Chains A and B, each alone.
Chain A
């Protein structure tokens, strides 16, 4: 009996010591997502972006106030006509294998991204890239492209070595170095056990003196977010990025050993919204869509259903972006107005008080910002004589198949801004982007020539003030036309051990280099 007790005591001790902060310079990050590989030049998504932005370096990085800062490029200039961007690279930068990083690698990376990256619009206007000398890169554009500078962030423009990923090594999609990447960023790739963990180690030859601080970063993957949070609370995991569940955020913010950092990642710009199928009666009538908006109280959704953890998103551009229009007219809860609009649309209630019945889609996994919101909408819409039936897809492919083949009335959806409207916003509203079977294209089938015109003009407008004015008008029209009802910003937060400092908290959130991350002295 005594032995048994001392065994238990010993195990408890082991558990307790394992939970304390590690002074040896390693950090364990928990993640629910599994990266397919680490080559962010040809693969997008936050779970590839996170490691890639620490493994690869990029020409520029961005400050919290959305200002470009030197990274691989010491300086850069844009010509007056906006058609040429010149980068002057730092001298002596080496890839992890010791080879020098030259302008040829930058050229190769830009061309690879243009040809392969899922975000097609990001570098589409790049006509050619010149390399007059090993440290100078001249990018020629077909038309002015103000989004280009932001697209040179670590998240979106990893500089990959041509001698590893070049055409001599076959098809880039199958290049084995996608799973064993070589970059010039603050951390070197060490190993990856698919679906289990990957390990990064300090790049001793990093081109910024004295950085990075950490010796090792482990990213452990958890299929179940609940056990990941348990591991975080116990101290097995030191940091969890991309946590968006209001319930979990609220609970964790009560934990004195953890810090919840919510105000970050405005460039990722994730919005939770209701998308309407604007070609399907009766939702093809703008009055019907507006009536539904008026019947829903999004402040109630943000403050009660999402427990005050997720701010309201007034329009298509997240409030954290300098291009957001803070003055767009919202739809304040107004059941009388909703009823009036529906009457006006000629949708009289039947004997049972129901005007019509529609379906609301989401995935079964999306509970807090999906199913619960739809349940709330169901009771609200009933008050104005609209029946709403929930249709929960068992998994993502099932849902994506329905939405992208236009087999839906309205759906909950989460779409990201990705920094510049050209990259992540235009796709949802442009007539030219109505593409069957492509999820997150314009699946609303929304078409307004004025919107197309504004977005096209803004994409090439070099003057920041004029550009902002074009986007302001666009935001007002889209909120008015209501192909989408914008609900809330998804509060992607990083939760971490209170002894950690330098946690990436800029506009790119956790998909930024972790060269500043370290334990408190």
Chain B
């Protein structure tokens, strides 16, 4: 009986997730249609003008001359068979474009996440040791500034500082055009990664340092910490080894939940640093009214968030018996 319940709950959850994804598709489709102009106008603009016949021919070729509802039907039909369509602007299947751009975004987002978690946790733990000390206040203020400043502004400031005034990092892109071979190739990517990853990390550092601070203040007040101190262990060991191990738990949970949001933050950072990922592709597609590419990216990120949430939910149901008794 228990297994049956688990299975039905899982199936139900999956159906919900599927319907939600479809709702996202339909909503986004109409949202994009509301923007003035269509991809053909952009293409004509970049061509320096075109005749009516050519414009009509392109609209017909892309199916843009048909009623909006019909276009939606065709699109949803294609999506259901796993086909994300063809990019009007880039002349390439959308799936291929997404896969081409995915690795760059994953690299950027994962690096930023690692930087944010490590720096945030260290800063938070540091300030939790003396919550009212000078250091703690400095950390709080800095992290609030980092959190409130627009991410593109931080990016531009870093560019001016570290790519122009003191040019130790590259301005843009993921690698040098005349790229070195072997190990140099990876070092080159790493060199390009520093500024965008730090920029994207700043907004999350604040978040993780606040979380770590709260969590550590709580942990450091517990009995076993007092025991550790009573044993005569040095304070560093008490905090960083005994305390942090437990204090990390909420942070780890948060990393899982936040994964989807990180992709959203990547759009602006990628645009500023010319990072060839999905975010820049989204930015380019909006400017060019490349409906199919943009829909593909939105669908992709929606699915990503949905999978993360569904997994969390399903995991909770399996782990925690109380969740199963709640009637949906």
Contact = CB atoms under 8 A, between A and B. Distances in A.
A joins B in a complex: yes
A218 B177 contact: yes
Interface in B141-175: 159, 163-164, 167-173
A485 interface: no
Contact of A222 (B52, B89, B172): B172
Contacts of A464: none
Interface in A18-34: 18-19, 22, 24, 26, 28, 33-34
A434 B300 CA distance: 43
Contacts of A236: 170-171, 176-177
A45 B47 contact: yes
A34 B92 CA distance: 14
B46 A440 contact: no
Contact of A397 (B51, B281, B289): B289
A47 B45 CA distance: 12
Interface in B254-302: 271-274, 276, 280-281, 283-284, 287, 289
A315 B118 CA distance: 64
Contacts of B317: none
B325 interface: no
B90 A118 contact: no
Contact of A15 (B91, B92, B167): B167
A230 B61 CA distance: 40
B50 interface: yes
A441 B90 CA distance: 26
A179 B90 CA distance: 9
Interface in A386-411: 395-398, 400-401
B163 A234 contact: yes
A446 B271 CA distance: 41
Contacts of B271: 223-224
- Size class of the A contact interface (CB-based, 8 Å): 35 or more
A127 to B, nearest CB: 19
A361 to B, nearest CB: 13
Nearest to A219: B177
Interface stretch (B34-42, B208-216, B224-232, B245-253): B34-42
A58 B272 CA distance: 39
B274 A45 contact: no
Given A179-B91, A438-B51, A223 B42 contact: no
Contacts of B272: 224, 227
Contact of B49 (A8, A19, A118): A118
A9 to B, nearest CB: 10
A19 B191 CA distance: 15
Given A36-B91, A227-B159, A236-B170, A397 B46 contact: no
Contact of A231 (B44, B61, B91, B172): B172
B281 A439 contact: no
Contact of A14 (B38, B45, B191): B191
A43 interface: yes
B274 A218 contact: no
Nearest to B270: A223
A397 B37 contact: yes
A364 B91 CA distance: 27
Contacts of A397: 35-38, 41-42, 45, 289
Contact of A440 (B49, B91, B280): B49
A12 interface: yes
A76 interface: no
B15 to A, nearest CB: 36
A220 interface: yes
A230 B164 contact: yes
B58 to A, nearest CB: 8
A220 B51 contact: no
B148 to A, nearest CB: 23
Interface string B286-322: 0101000000000000000000000000000000000
A155 to B, nearest CB: 11
Contact of B36 (A18, A194, A398, A424): A398
A438 B169 CA distance: 45
A224 B171 CA distance: 11
Contacts of B168: 8, 11-12, 15
Nearest to B174: A196
Contact of B55 (A173, A197, A220, A438): A438
A440 B176 contact: no
Interface string A421-439: 0001001000000010111
A416 interface: yes
A488 B9 CA distance: 69
B296 to A, nearest CB: 13
A227 B274 contact: yes
A174 to B, nearest CB: 8
B33 interface: no
Contacts of A231: 170-172
A195 B171 contact: no
Most buried by B among A118, A222, A397, A440: A397
A46 B100 CA distance: 26
A37 interface: yes
B65 to A, nearest CB: 13
Contacts of B273: 227
A98 to B, nearest CB: 26
B177 A197 contact: yes
A44 B47 contact: yes
B40 to A, nearest CB: 9
B52 A227 contact: no
A62 interface: no
Given A118-B48, A223-B274, A396-B45, A18 B37 contact: no
Nearest to A171: B61
Contact of A223 (B48, B53, B97, B284): B284
A441 B49 contact: yes
A486 interface: no
A441 B164 CA distance: 43
Contacts of A220: 173, 177
B322 to A, nearest CB: 49
Contacts of B41: 396-397, 400-401, 439
Contacts of B42: 396-397
A34 B284 contact: yes
A401 B36 contact: yes
A120 interface: yes
B54 interface: yes
Contact of A120 (B51, B163, B171): B51
A293 interface: no
Nearest to B40: A397
Contacts of B50: 44, 118, 438
A424 B49 CA distance: 9
B178 interface: yes
A-B complex: 4 closest residue pairs judged by Cβ atoms:
A397-B37, A440-B49, A118-B50, A218-B177
21 contacts: A11-B169, A22-B178, A45-B48, A47-B46, A116-B54, A119-B48, A119-B49, A194-B97, A195-B284, A222-B172, A224-B274, A227-B172, A236-B171, A397-B35, A397-B42, A397-B45, A400-B41, A401-B41, A438-B49, A438-B50, A439-B44
